[in-house]
Structure 1
């Protein structure tokens, strides 16, 4: 089932590289608009938010649309890793607010080692 939005976390990437990748994957990106620590743009009509160092050294990329080429966070994370060659993390599926803390710490890690489930305590 397609997720309503996509959120992935990237290590060692910047919003310039992200814009170049999204331009290829989705379509042309508008210029980034910075508001505080957050950067926003639109890639072929998809609202994009980039938050540097959202969790430690990890940067958050949020695509607020269900019309991306990816059905879920994992598919997007794998595409980001393939294009940018940086480690990417994402939730294993749609996370619900009522889920337990243990469930919230379950993440997928996409790296040169492949795809694996890890425990990542972000809170």
Structure 2
């Protein structure tokens, strides 16, 4: 089932590299507009939000659309790793508000080691 939106976390990359990748994948990016800590643009028809250092050294990339080439967070994360060669993390499936704390700490890690499930405690 296609997710209604996509959110992945990337390490050691800036929003300009992201815009280049999204431009190739989704369509030309509008210039980034900074609003407080976040940056927003559109890649093709997709609203994009970039939040630097959302969790420690990890940057959040949020694609607010179900019309991306990716079915879910994991396929987007794998594409981001392939294009940018940086470690990427994402939730293993759609996130539900009712999930237990344990479920909320389950993440997928995409890196040179491949894809693996990890425990990542994002709430201090």
Whether TM exceeds 0.5 here: the answer is yes
User: Scaled by the length of structure 2, what TM-score is found?
Assistant: 0.99
Residue of structure 2 equivalent to 1:90: 90
- 1:45 CA displacement: 1.0
- Secondary structure at the counterpart of residue 9 of structure 1: strand
For the pair 1:104 / 2:89, whether they are aligned, the reply is: no
Moved over 3 A (4+): none
1: distance between equivalents of 2:98 and 2:24? 36
Rounded to whole Å, the distance in 1 between the matches of 2:26 and 2:43 is 6
1:72 matched to 2:94? The reply is: no
CA distance, structure 2, for counterparts of residue 44 and residue 64 of structure 1: 12
CA shift, 1:90, in A, is: 0.1
Aligned equivalent of 2:63: 63
Structure 2 equivalent of residue 40 of structure 1: 40
| Structure 1: gaps (5+ residues) | none
Could you tell me how far apart the structure 2 residues matched to 1:45 and 1:69 are?
A: 12
**Aligned partner of residue 51 in structure 2, secondary structure:** strand
The runs of 5 or more residues in structure 2 that have no matched partner are none
Q: Per-residue displacement from partner, 1:35-67 (whole Å, max 9, x unpaired)?
A: 011000000010000000000000000000000
Q: Report the aligned-residue RMSD.
A: 0.2
